[in-house]
Amino acid sequence: MTDKEAAQLITGAAKGCPKECGQAYAPVNIALCKYWGKRDEMLNLPVTSSLSLSLPELGATTRISFREGHDQLFLDGVEQSRDSVSARRVSKYLDLFRPDRSTFFHVESESTVPIAAGLASSASGFAALALALNDLFQWNLGLRDLSILARLGSGSAARSIYTGFVLWHAGTREDGMDSFAEPVDGEWPGLCMGLIMVSRREKAVSSRIAMKRTVDTSALYRAWPAKVESDLKNLRQAIEKKDFDLLGRTAESNALAMHATMMDSQPPVLYWMPETVEEIRKIWRLRDNGLPVYFTMDAGPNIKMLFMEKDASLIREHFPDMEIALS
């Protein structure tokens, strides 16, 4: 099945009457058990399931309306060249939903996190775009269907349809209709996440390229599915029992394992910068000295720290530039 066929399968039966403008917000989500590797690149179907935590105060707000001539994309108020990577990627996604070849769109998206810096901007951006399209066309789709549509734009966008803890099912069907995200029960008062911004610059190697290179060339990647299966079990248990050490230990180990597969790829992919290593070592020293703090990282140099609210002031003393993303 093609991505166009998948989109039509979901939206084809919708009978809504389009509005002049659609708008939506979607949060950033940070994976505690990572999505790394595709079994189908066109449909963005993952090799394994994954589990994330949404950051409700960080994300993307997207507005979409109809226009004539060609698609037009503004990111944070700046018009993107039609041949830019971002504009081409958005137009390709919009191709899935055009009623005819003469339909074009004006898209404005504002993000509270840097674009393509390893902070899940793509996930929140495409989730917000899927939700805005639902608002524009008045499809009135359920969240499961919207999760699938968001996934067609960016895999991890499937999780940004929701807030809180979210599980994205890998699924087994070739058409991808069983690969969607859904919330995981388990509110966790006092759980915090802090961002260490090592770099706001766009990555030299995109996540999409790094992922494919890893799957194609890393010998370590063969152990990844079993690692994910074990980590998902531990994370579900940690959420249920409110076991912070198990949550932090598992998330940190999963992130390090993902980066290890990248470094083992050919040519190697290394997102870490000297400051990344320095901050990781500081976190380990603090934990050795009895302060319960862990970290996770996506495909980029920036660090997301996990800690409890009761320790926030002490952690702030050691990381004065930390941005609190969840509290």
Local structure of 37: helix, strand or coil: coil
- What's the mean pLDDT in 55-84? 95
Residue 119 has pLDDT above 60, yes or no: no
Q: What is the CATH number of the domain that holds 294?
A: 3.30.70.890
- Cα 170 from Cα 219, distance rounded (Å): 22
| pTM assigned to the model | 0.94
Angle at 22 between CA 17 and CA 23, to 5 degrees: 150
Q: Which of 116, 150, 183 is the last residue of a domain?
A: 183
Q: What residues make up the domain containing 217?
A: 191-326
DSSP state at residue 295: E
289 lies in the same domain as 157: no
Closest CA to 55 of 251, 256, 287, 323: 323
Q: What is the CATH number of the domain that holds 73?
A: 3.30.230.10
Q: Which residues of 281-308 are buried (b: 16+ CB within 10 A; e: fewer)?
A: ebbeebbeeeeebbbbbbbbbbbbbbbb
137 lies in the same domain as 53: yes
**pLDDT given at position 326:** 77
168 lies in the same domain as 60: yes
What's the pLDDT tens digit per position in 143-177?
Answer: 999 999 999 999 999 999 999 999 999 999 999 99
Beta strands 72-75 and 104-111, pairing class = parallel
Average pLDDT, the chain: 94
Local structure of 304: helix, strand or coil: strand
**pLDDT given at position 327:** 67
